[in-house]
Amino acid sequence: MSSGAQNSRNTSPLLRVEGLKVHFSVRHGPLSRSGGCVRAVDGVNFEIAPVETLGLVGESGCGKTTLGRACVRLVEPLEGRILFAGEDLTSLKGRQLRPRRRSFQMIFQDPYSTLDPRLTIGSSLGEGIEIHKLVRTADERKRRIAELLESVGLDAAVAGRYPDEFSGGQRQRIGIARALALEPKLIVCDEPVGALDVSVQAQIINLLRDLQDRRGLAYLFIAHDLAVVEHMSRRVMVMYLGRIVELAPAKQLISAPKHPYTQALISAVPVVDPESKRARIVLAGEVPSPIAPPSGCPFHTRCPRAEFPRCSAEVPAWRELAPGHWAACHFAG
């Protein structure tokens, strides 16, 4: 049973990921001669329902961004399947894939890097509209761009300005408008507020939630800030070294985490209540290299509960410990 299979009991998933692996060849250093590879995503399963926000958290370098990019086919998987509305996207190439791209888009942490500084905002927003022939006349194109800008809280008059004339928060709104241009059903949000001030973060989060309600969007919401992910998401996945180690309803994950890695992440979140007795869990050692991940449980080299030789030799099963609450740990629950 996949890690998101419990979600499909009530509705068919919009996105289903099965056994996904993304490995990158090592091009430099001694491992390049021996065929070494970075196991960025190493056998991931999950589902997202229509109009659901699924959160994804984990330390930097755990594979979150690669997973998100693979879901929208910006990165090619080595193994596994990506099914969107029941269709296997991994079997499609080039011209076959292009019309499907309308249905799934991506918002990046740094929207400036995805906007051509030589093009006006209107031109950038109009590119996808023209490629997919969503309008027939120049007037329709102009109206469509104006509607997009207004939908993200910007005046339609800014269409003639250039990316470097905007603040970080405004550029992120433009990035969101660009993702909306093709009327997608799913948006992968890759750290969409990570580079913004706290006050601006709240504005962007509220905008994303409002757009979800108005347009019926589903999100894969990637972040390292658990508080932001809990606020945005119905369910949350926790990723470590290319694998999903826990998945649960957001409030349940925060209040009763089962995996030792999730417990350590949550213990590091600042607590407002001065009476809180939550102890900080400090993990030993460094995150292992995804080029040579540990055998058995990938977390055992840092886990305070690891028992040997079981944890170093046996990959933990993916188990449902409570309704909708899954974890991959020999001793969880």
Q: Of 73-77, 86-90, 142-146, 195-199, where does mean pLDDT reach its minimum?
A: 195-199
Q: What percent of the chain has pLDDT over 90?
A: 78
Top pLDDT among 2 and 34 is at: 34
CB distance 5 to 75 below 8 Å: no
Mean pLDDT of 201-209: 96
Q: How confident is the model at residue 175 (pLDDT cuts 50, 70, 90)?
A: very high
pLDDT at residue number 79: 96
pLDDT at 282: 84
pLDDT of residue 6 exceeding 50, the answer is no
User: Above 60 in pLDDT, residue 166?
Assistant: yes
Output the pLDDT for position 3: 38
pLDDT of 8 reads 40
Quote the pLDDT of residue 279: 82
- The answer to whether residue 162 scores a pLDDT higher than 50 is yes
Mean pLDDT, to the nearest integer, of 161-176? 95
pTM for the model stands at: 0.92
Question: What's the whole-number average pLDDT of the chain?
Answer: 91
What pLDDT is recorded for position 2?
37
Minimum mean pLDDT among 8-17, 23-32, 43-52, 62-71: which range?
23-32
Looking at residue 93, its pLDDT comes to 86
pLDDT tens figures, 92-121: 988 899 889 999 999 999 878 889 999 999
Condensed to tens digits (0 to 9), the pLDDT of residues 270-297 reads 776 666 667 889 898 889 999 999 999 9
Q: Does 3.40.50.300 match the CATH number of domain 5-118+162-328?
A: yes
Q: What is the pLDDT of residues 73-97, one digit of tens each?
A: 999 999 999 999 999 999 998 889 9
pLDDT at 1 over 70: no
Domains in the chain: boundaries: 5-118+162-328
Give me the mean pLDDT over the 43-55 stretch: 98
pLDDT of 236 > 90? The answer is: yes
